[in-house]
Structure 1
Amino acid sequence: MEKVKLKLLYSELRPELDKIEKELEVAVGSNSLLLNEASLHLLQAGGKRIRPVFVLLAGKFGDYNVDVMKQVAVPLELIHMASLVHDDVIDDSEMRRGQTTVKAQWNNSVAMYTGDFILARALEYITVIEDPKIHDILSKTMIEVCRGEIIQIEDKYKLDQTVRDYLRRIKRKTALLISSSCELGATVSGTDAETAARLRRFGYFIGMSFQITDDILDFTSSDEELGKPAGSDFIQGNITLPVLFARKDPLIYGRLKEAVGKDMTDSERKEIVELIRTSPALEEAKSLSDQYLNKALKELMLLPKGNANKTMRNIALFIGKRKF
């Protein structure tokens, strides 16, 4: 239901998004039946398509042409998809968006090569753009996303990491790809440098808010709403902001230390989730998410007014308050 509400906010982009969706289907197509099935399995699991949406909206601040926008929207979404497949292997995840992951449906090898294939397709798609600045932005983004993945592996099960460590990680894992979506949409549509920079900062701030909200929902949502067990991040060793804030309570910290990295029963998992859920940590995390959201909205206030600006504002507000 929440996903439907979000899509209504950018319903005017539906024709362009349908075109991008068809292009994504073409992009993940392969002569290999196995690769084709695995790639389509991931694509058809759906998603909010936030990155293509921000490419399109940022492009409306300049000389908008959907066929040009498509050339960066498709590879950006492919990079995101590839990172999800690889994530599921690293985290040993069985479910995503209520469906089995590629690694669960097939195996780790198929998942890794599917991710590599989708990433290669992204690189192939971007070659049609001649502007070296576009390639520079995209290549640096990909490098940082990979660094974020490595940092996440290094930080696994570390209850003593700092909030700064967490923010550094989600910046690379989530915020930069959204930030680049906005910057690339602005750049390919020929906006001035100041507008592109403001859109880049907007994307970064909303990306940070988006991920913090995601990490809060991992504790506040039900298993059914998440499409996976609540508290999955903690089970997989990913120490998120709610846990970092909750550990300030000595009793909670002691229980977290006992549980982290251990095989938990379902009742133990629910106990950890309830500990976080009833602590002040979620409100603290929400407060930080709201700070990033407000910074994003301030950037929009300094951008030209119009439908694109209004839609970006509505999406930003929805992302910061969402319940899915």
Structure 2
Amino acid sequence: MKLTDLYFELRGDIGYVEKGIAEAVQCDVAELESSSQHLLQAGGKRLRPALALLCGRFGQPKNDALYRLAISLELIHMATLVHDDVIDDSDTRRGQPTVKAKWDNRVAMYTGDFILAKALEQVTTLSNPKIHQQFSRALVEMSIGEIEQLRDLHSWDQTFRNYLRRIKRKTALLIAVSCQLGALSSEVGMKDAHHLYRYGYNLGMAFQITDDILDYTGDAKKMGKPAGSDLLQGNITLPALYTYNHPEHGEKLRQMLEERNGIADEEIIQYITNHGGIQFSREITMKYLNKSRKALEQLPAIRTRDTLYNITQFIEKRNF
């Protein structure tokens, strides 16, 4: 099952958001529009707008502010992907050439800036100041998360806390804000909006840790990138950190890294996969998913709550 199957009920609303995104990135400069549309046509899970639309169903759904919010959220996510591909020197995403690969780094950076500006343009039409404040906070934190990832590249001295704080900023906050602001855009009360924020935050943490697990265990063809690509680029995630600090397995891993001047290779990736890092990371994922489900229990028992619960189940069983 695909994640999009779980919010099939939103197919009309998601289609409307897709159309809004395509219209938002229209531009008189052909190169900018082509590069933006290229990214859009590569597809994606559309998780953030879907969560905003779902959480809006606890209030007054199908309003213009909610749709504009959903469009903005996906545009922000798209912009970060373009910039990430430049930083990571990635040639493919979702099995398709990246903007960087199809054009060049300069076009990619300006494309990311253009898409981000278009997201902010959508947000300016929303009247609720809370939405503007949370958007701004999320963008600041995401930028800090990106810098922290650069700082921690190839650094085996980082702590679990460093890692968790980084993925909170890079991934979890925007997912949490998607849930919270989807609710606020639909006149959901602050108490329920807070519960939805907690749901989204813990879901986002679990989502990113699962991504980091799949970098070791996932099907390279389905993932659209080679196995172990994060570690090969120096991005040290939870499975590697656990194995490196393990009282029994860590010494061997540290020895392997010393022999290779701190640079990972396929043998190191396999060692981490087979020596506890994956299992430990799955256990942490479950802790976050359980917290996410606990937040849902505080919300009205409507059909949408079941859909949000099913998304946590998908992440628990996700294999690509």
Specify the alignment match of 1:190 in structure 2.
187
Specify the alignment match of 1:230 in structure 2.
227
Which runs of structure 2 are paired with 1:267-306 in the superposition (5 Å)?
269-306=265-302
Specify the alignment match of 1:36 in structure 2.
33
Cα separation, 1, equivalents of 2:127 and 2:62? 16
Say whether residues 1:27 and 2:24 are aligned partners: yes
Describe the superposition over 1:172-215 as per-residue Cα deviations: whole angstroms up to 9, x where unpaired: 00000000000100111111111000000110000000000000
Is the 1:237–1:260 Cα contact (8 Å) retained in structure 2? no
- Give the superposed CA RMSD: 1.3
Is the 2:231–2:269 Cα contact (8 Å) retained in structure 1? no
Shift of 1:225: 2.2
Shift of 1:160: 1.1
Cα separation, 1, equivalents of 2:204 and 2:236? 18
- Listed as ranges, the gaps of 5+ residues in structure 2 are none
Specify the alignment match of 1:116 in structure 2.
113
> In 2 relative to 1, CA 257–222 (structure 1 residues): closer, same or farther, beyond 3 Å?
farther
Cα separation, 1, equivalents of 2:147 and 2:261? 20
Specify the alignment match of 2:176 in structure 1.
179
- Listed as ranges, the gaps of 5+ residues in structure 1 are none
Is the 1:297–1:313 Cα contact (8 Å) retained in structure 2? yes
Shift of 1:272: 2.5
> In 2 relative to 1, CA 66–322 (structure 1 residues): closer, same or farther, beyond 3 Å?
farther
Shift of 1:256: 3.5
The normalised TM-score by structure 1 is 0.95
> In 2 relative to 1, CA 94–131 (structure 1 residues): closer, same or farther, beyond 3 Å?
same
Q: What amino acid sits opposite 1:109 in the alignment?
A: R
Describe the superposition over 1:1-47 as per-residue Cα deviations: whole angstroms up to 9, x where unpaired: x4xx3222111100000000011111122111111111111111111
Which of structure 1's runs of 4+ aligned residues deviate more than 3 A? 256-262
Shift of 1:165: 0.2
Specify the alignment match of 1:56 in structure 2.
53
Shift of 1:235: 1.2
Q: What amino acid sits opposite 1:254 in the alignment?
A: Q
Between 1:56-65 and 1:163-172, the stretch displaced more is 56-65
Cα separation, 2, equivalents of 1:108 and 1:290? 38
2:217 paired residue among 193, 216, 220: 220
Is the 2:58–2:183 Cα contact (8 Å) retained in structure 1? yes
